Amino acid sequence: MTTSSSPARRPASWIPAAIAGFFGLFYAYAVWVAVGFLIAQAGAVEGLNGAGWAVLLFSVLFPIIVFVAGVLLGRRRALVQLAIILLVGLGLVAVFWLNILTYAITNGNSLVGS
């Protein structure tokens, strides 16, 4: 009885990068929309106050933070697990963005300068 000590097959190194790049496009779109919303609100007649800048700048940074965390968490895992981690992170970003929009619609007065 002989045992083979060959290492387990690992996928090509470009496949995890392609998965991360694919999901990265969706995260980049979230950043793009957040930047557009920030510019639109800042360029309005009344502008933004300090809290408005903080909330809307964080909405720009949040997808970037979640994407980097997802890639770091999934880099040593199987491809399916990497994809699931990035998909869950994308869902988290979507829920956060809906919360930002809801807050801006219902409490928009607290974000604008006087």
- Tens of pLDDT, residues 15-72: 999 999 999 999 999 999 999 999 988 887 777 888 888 999 999 999 999 999 999 9
Whole-angstrom distance, CA of residue 26 vs CA of residue 82:
15
42 vs 8 pLDDT, higher one: 42
Q: Is the pLDDT of residue 1 over 60?
A: no
pLDDT at 110: 72
Which residue type sits at 42?
Answer: A
Please tell me the predicted confidence (pLDDT) of residue 13.
Answer: 84
Cα atoms in the Cβ-side hemisphere of radius 13 Å centred on 28:
6
SS3 48: strand
- Global pTM? 0.83
1 vs 68, which has greater pLDDT?
Answer: 68
Residue 19 host element (H or E)? helix 14-42
Tell me how far apart the alpha carbons of residues 64 and 68 are, in angstroms, rounded to a whole number: 6
**Residue in 8, 19, 22, 7 with CA at minimum distance from that of residue 75:** 19
